[in-house]
Amino acid sequence: MAKAVDIGTSFIVGARLEDGNEVFTVERDAFFSMPREDLSEELITRAGANFLIRGNEIFVVGEDALKYCMITGRHEAYRRPMKMGVLNPGEEEAIPLIERLIEGIVGPADFPGEVIAATIPAAPLDTELDVTFHKIVLERFLKKLGYDVRILNEALAIIYAECPTVDDDGAQAPFSGIGISFGAGMTNLVVAWRAKKLFEISVARGGDWIDQRVSQVRNIPVGKVTHEKEKGLDLSKVDPKNPLHLGLEIFYEELIKHVLTEFATHFKSTQTTFSNPLDVVIAGGTASVPGFIDKFKEILEQQGAPVPIGNVTLGQDPLRTVAKGALVAAVSMEKKKLAKQAEAEREAAAQAAAAAKPAPKPAPKPDLDEIDIEAGV
């Protein structure tokens, strides 16, 4: 059965179905490096940690990285393979390590050609980031694990998970609306019509950007800002006497304004018009702070949007919505692929029967790899 993986700047989330239940595996997108002699391999093996040896260095990956960082107290050895939504260009070791993490989460394909949907961001408007390189690296690696890889925009995945509908001349058009993922490294937006992506943009700003900006202007360590943001902030009742919360509110507003401005500017060029309102479905860790949706609506009201807007809602489970939507896509793609394959087999059998009357040869089984299925749904 098909699988999905959402490879994010702070978390990697795997999704699959087991006995009809959705099972998510969440791992921290991070690693910890140390000289080989510092901590013996035996110790790490015994601890059951996920690790990799390259030259004279040992790399512990994922959640275990955090554990080792704590045991040894060496913060500088804690590193992240991704930055602003893509592979971290300043991190040479990023590729083998993120591969190890992904392998740990999805494992090898259950059968050759099993479909996996992996999410990536759209190329950001405001930075020169190489999304193509990121995409190729991940695609190649998942192929090596035996999968038939389908790459998906992460905001489109939100549309698949939440299924917003639009009134289309009295009928309901499913999977139509605006999806926005507010992650750690990036914010992605798509406009979808009947599951097809009509428009996409992304900006290289998200939770990390908010943390860094607030840390700069308030002169507070980033870690403290992040902690307060995730634990204490409520955008619906910001204490005017709390400078940290005020700072967070300001940059939350900046982020939303920036995204809506870019949306308005770039959507014009598509020359698409909608007469009926589109619903907005939002997900991602950054959107899970209380009061986010009201803040978003407030700014939307002030700035307006290039299309008529209906309801604005938060995904059921904002940190896992993208992975869940990718799983919906993967299951559907695999279904289509198997149906196509069955049809090809039937046709081949019929042809063989017509050609050789007395003893029809068994139809050759089509090779999985040769069936071409569109990447989109």
Partner 1 sequence: MWMVKNTLRATLTFRGLDLSIPAGATYDLDALGRERAESSNQVLVAFEEGYLENVHKAARVESDRLPTQAPTASDGLTGAEFEARMKEFQRQFVSELKTHIPALAVSSNESAMTKDVKALVDEFKLLREHFELERNKLARAGDLSDAEVRARMAFLEEKENELVKNFERVGRRVETKDGDVMGKADMLSNL
Ligand X SMILES: Nc1ncnc2c1ncn2[C@@H]1O[C@H](COP(=O)(O)OP(=O)(O)OP(=O)(O)O)[C@@H](O)[C@H]1O
Q: Which residues bind partner 1 (CB under 8 A)?
A: 10-11, 17-18, 20-28, 30, 45-48, 62-64, 66-67, 69-71, 73, 75, 78, 160-161, 163, 174-175, 194-195, 211, 221-224, 226-227, 230-231, 285, 288, 316-317, 319-320, 324, 327-329, 331-332, 335-336, 377
- What is the 3-state composition of the chain as percent helix, strand, coil, each rounded to the nearest 5? 40, 25, 35
The closest of 340, 271, 356 to 307, measured between CA atoms, is: 271
Q: Which is nearer to ligand X, 149 or 233 (CB)?
A: 233
**CB nearer partner 1, residue 129 or residue 319:** 319
Buried b (16+ CB within 10 A) or exposed e, 277-316: ebbbbbbbbbbbbebbbebbeebbeeeebbbebbebebbe
Q: Residue 8 or 62: which CB sits closer to Mg ion?
A: 8
Phi, psi at 166, each rounded to 5°:
-125, 145
Instruction: Report the 10 Å Cβ neighbour count for 206.
Output: 29
**Residue 227 interacts with, from ligand X, partner 1, Mg ion, none (CB under 5-8 Å by kind):** partner 1
Residue 291's nearest CA partner among 376, 240, 369, 233 is: 233
Q: Out of partner 1, ligand X, Mg ion, none, which partner does residue 217 contact, by CB within 5 to 8 A per kind?
A: none
**What CA–CA distance (Å, rounded) separates 312 from 297?**
7
The one of partner 1, ligand X, Mg ion, none whose footprint includes residue 63, by CB under 5 to 8 A per kind, is partner 1
Residue 255, C-beta contacts closer than 8 angstroms, at least 6 positions apart: 182, 187, 205, 206, 209, 210, 286
Using CB under 5 A as the criterion, which residues of the chain lie in contact with Mg ion when the complex forms? 8, 183
Shortest approach of ligand X to residue 154 CB, angstroms? 6
Query: Which of partner 1, ligand X, Mg ion, none lies near 21, with the C-beta cut-off 5 to 8 A by kind?
Result: partner 1
Give the whole-angstrom CA distance, residue 363 versus residue 346: 8
61 φ, ψ (degrees, to nearest 5): -115, 160
CB of 339 to partner 1, least distance (A): 8
Say if residues 148 and 116 touch (Cβ distance below 8 Å): yes
Q: Taking the CA of residue 106 as centre, how many other CA atoms within 13 Å lie in the half-sphere pointing to its CB?
A: 36
Partner whose footprint covers residue 186, from partner 1, Mg ion, ligand X, none (CB < 5 to 8 Å by kind): ligand X
Give, in degrees to the nearest 5, the angle at Cα 320 between 319 and 321: 105
Site residues, ligand X (CB under 6 A): 8-11, 85, 181, 183-186, 206-208, 226, 229-230, 284-286, 288-289, 319
Q: Which does 206 bind (CB under 5 to 8 A by kind): partner 1, Mg ion, ligand X, none?
A: ligand X
CB of residue 167 to Mg ion, shortest distance in Å: 30
Residue number, 10 or 176, with CB nearest to ligand X: 10
Closer to partner 1 by Cβ: residue 231 or 241? 231
* Closest distance to partner 1 from the beta carbon of 313 (Å): 15
Residue with Cβ nearer ligand X (29 or 279): 29
Nearer residue to Mg ion within complex by CB, 299 or 319: 319
- For ligand X, the closer CB: 88 or 176: 88
Partner touching 176 among ligand X, partner 1, Mg ion, none, CB below 5 to 8 Å by kind: none
Q: Which residue(s) pair with 190 in the sheet?
A: 179, 200
Q: Name which of 27, 30, 11 is nearest 81 in CA terms.
A: 30
CB under 5 to 8 A by kind: which of ligand X, partner 1, Mg ion, none does 358 bind?
none
State the DSSP code for 286. G
Residues in the chain: 377
- 85 contact choice in ligand X, Mg ion, partner 1, none (CB below 5 to 8 Å, kind-dependent): ligand X
Smallest gap from Cβ 205 to ligand X, in A, equals 9
Minimum CB–partner distance for residue 373 and partner 1 (Å): 12
Q: Which is nearer to ligand X, 50 or 187 (CB)?
A: 187
CA distances from residue 211 to 11, 207, 242 in whole angstroms, order as listed: 17, 6, 16
User: Is the torsion defined by CA of 59, 323, 127, 313 positive or negative?
Assistant: negative
